[in-house]
Amino acid sequence: MTDKKAILADLEKAVETWNAKLAVEATNKALDAGISVSEIIGDGLGKGMEVIGDRFDKAEIYLPQVVAASKTMTAALEILLPKLTAGEGSLKATVIMGTVEGDIHEIGKNVCVAMLQGAGYNVIDAGCDVSPQDFLDLAEEHGAAVLGASALMTTTLEIQKELVEAVKEIEADYKCIVGGAPCSPSWAEEIGADGYSETANDIMGLVASLTE
Ligand code: B12
């Protein structure tokens, strides 16, 4: 196995086995080896989280293990995020990213934040449990061009719809993009969102197409 393959395999394994020490070590090793942040997340850590999601769906593991895996992923993202923002020159458009009200799943949103920051966008991370009004307040405060709403539960998808409606109601020209596992292109179309992407890798092209 090449060094790069071995490091990516370690990153995946670290999340899969909720081994935060290995995640931190492998992340630092990956950066030293010149592996890009998008590969570290997309081909390493993110793959581990996919496995965790599948195993949770099949009831092979339970919530405590999922929490441990997500903490492991967060430990690695904490190293990557400052690298992405450090020394940025002129930033591109401002994007508000948040997980919608009633929903605390924020790993996927955090990955999107990391990717967009890496691509040079000025990303305001609104965190999780963000109401449509919170999105609008942050958008006004920061002069946002794009609002990205993540929802991981069928029950919270509805808030994405409320956000799109709230933007229309005040006749603002913020572009609303939506994502998260239960979301789909047809849902995005149905609620009148400006865009959808299945993964964080595609979110950069999506935001570019809406802002450039
Ligand atoms: C990790 C996890 C948790 C963790 C969250 C930790 C954290 N800090 O985020 C914990 C353990 C806390 C948790 C809690 C709960 N969970 Co949970 N959880 C998951 C799990 C296993 C993985 C989600 C994840 O992180 N995936 C990895 C990331 C990288 O993928 P992603 O989120 O899809 O994001 C990618 C794309 O979707 C996209 N994307 C994401 N957001 C956005 C936004 C935009 C704008 C765009 C363009 C793209 C985009 O880019 C990302 C990167 O590629 C899923 C199962 C699954 N298969 O999804 C269940 C799941 C989402 N959880 C579920 C449930 C039910 C819960 C709980 C209610 C459980 C409980 N009984 O308490 C609570 C939720 C409480 C609440 N109010 O929110 C259900 C939801 C079912 C439903 N109704 O739809 C799922 C589907 C599991 C299941 N099969 O039952 N959970």
Q: What is the pLDDT of residue 115?
A: 78
- Cβ–ligand 1 contact at 105 (below 6 Å): yes
Q: 3-state DSSP call for residue 182?
A: coil
Domain spanning 3-85: CATH 3.20.20.70: no
In whole angstroms, what is the distance from residue 16 CA to residue 1 CA?
Answer: 20
Ligand 1 centroid to Cα of residue 169, in Å, is 29
Mean pLDDT within 37-66: 88
Most confident of 110-124, 151-165, 191-205: 151-165
Q: Is the pLDDT of residue 46 over 80?
A: yes
Q: Indicate the residue type of 117.
A: Q
Please give the model's pTM, rounded to 2 decimal places.
Answer: 0.86
102-114: pLDDT as tens digits: 999 988 898 888 7
Arithmetic mean of pLDDT over the chain:
91
Query: Given this model, what pLDDT does residue 87 score?
Result: 47
To test the pocket of ligand 1, the residue of 37, 105, 191 to mutate (highest count of ligand atoms within 8 Å of its CB) is: 105
Average pLDDT over residues 35-53: 87
CATH architecture of 94-211: 3-Layer(aba) Sandwich (3.40)
User: Which is more confident, 160 or 42?
Assistant: 160
Would the CATH topology of 3-85 be identical to that of 94-211?
no
